[in-house]
A and B are shown apart, each in its own frame.
Chain A
Amino acid sequence: DQQVKQNSPSLSVQEGRISILNCDYTNSMFDYFLWYKKYPAEGPTFLISISSIKDKNEDGRFTVFLNKSAKHLSLHIVPSQPGDSAVYFCAASRFGNEKLTFGTGTRLTIIP
């Protein structure tokens, strides 16, 4: 049972344009959501998070939107840069603890 789903395995975006990565979840008990970025041969690194009491959180070029009624979140990257090319994982937890449930990832490729 995949409780966190990333239905797009890959996404290609032109440099300078907006990248939108999507994530859906099924467990309504999740109350904290995170995005991680992973380069080859490296561990995932934390990017941005959002609590279920908010619907938007921004950090520089990165914005995460949460739609609780739809059980959907998205990560927006504006403008996209070549260094953003990586695999992005959506993750969720209960009570904001460190036991995360991850999606299967979306490989983002930024085209120069």
Chain B
Amino acid sequence: ETGVTQSPTHLIKTRGQQVTLRCSSQSGHNTVSWYQQALGQGPQFIFQYYREEENGRGNFPPRFSGLQFPNYSSELNVNALELDDSALYLCASSLSGRGTGELFFGEGSRLTVL
């Protein structure tokens, strides 16, 4: 069983640039969620995708957008990067409808904005 994989693991961008982060979900999982973990904080829910549609969004501006593909992999796009976007971005997959809330996380993509 393949786990959740994310790429890239680390990247550095400058303010105003755009970034795309990628995630392959665990085999058999149909739901992908993205979380932002700032230094010293817990993960914060950005949004969730189910069957290629956004299925809930946290308190993040529209410049955070996403996609889910037919194979359930996903992308997180952030436009007009700000210094505060520096964080670990975690992708998590799950099987919707289980009612357990259990997520399977990847190792994350660490974004530094200079």
A25 on the B face (CB < 8 A): no
A residues within 8 A CB of B108?
Answer: 43
Q: Is the interface of B mostly helix, strand, loop or mixed?
A: loop
Residue of B nearest to A96 (CB): B99
Least CB distance, B90 to chain A, in whole angstroms: 6
A residues within 8 A CB of B105?
Answer: 36, 43-45
**Inter-chain contact B42/A46, CB cutoff 8 Å:** no
A residues within 8 A CB of B40?
Answer: 104
Among A4, A43, A49, A98, point to the contact of B48 (Cβ < 8 A).
A98
Residue of A nearest to B4 (CB): A43
Q: Roughly how many angstroms separate A60 CA and B72 CA in the complex, as a whole number?
A: 33
B96 on the A face (CB < 8 A): yes
B residues within 8 A CB of A99?
Answer: 33, 45, 48, 56, 58
Least CB distance, B35 to chain A, in whole angstroms: 8
Q: Roughly how many angstroms separate A101 CA and B43 CA in the complex, as a whole number?
A: 8
Asked if A49 meets B102 with Cβ closer than 8 Å, knowing A43-B90, A98-B92, A99-B33, the reply is yes
**Inter-chain contact B101/A98, CB cutoff 8 Å:** yes
Q: Roughly how many angstroms separate A96 CA and B94 CA in the complex, as a whole number?
A: 12
B residues within 8 A CB of A100?
Answer: 43, 45, 101, 103
What are the 7 tightest A-B residue pairs by CB atom distance, in nearest-first order?
A: A43-B105, A102-B42, A96-B99, A93-B101, A98-B94, A104-B42, A102-B43
Other A-B contacts than A4-B42, A96-B101, 7 sampled, CB-CB below 8 A, are A43-B106, A46-B104, A49-B101, A100-B43, A102-B35, A104-B40, A105-B42
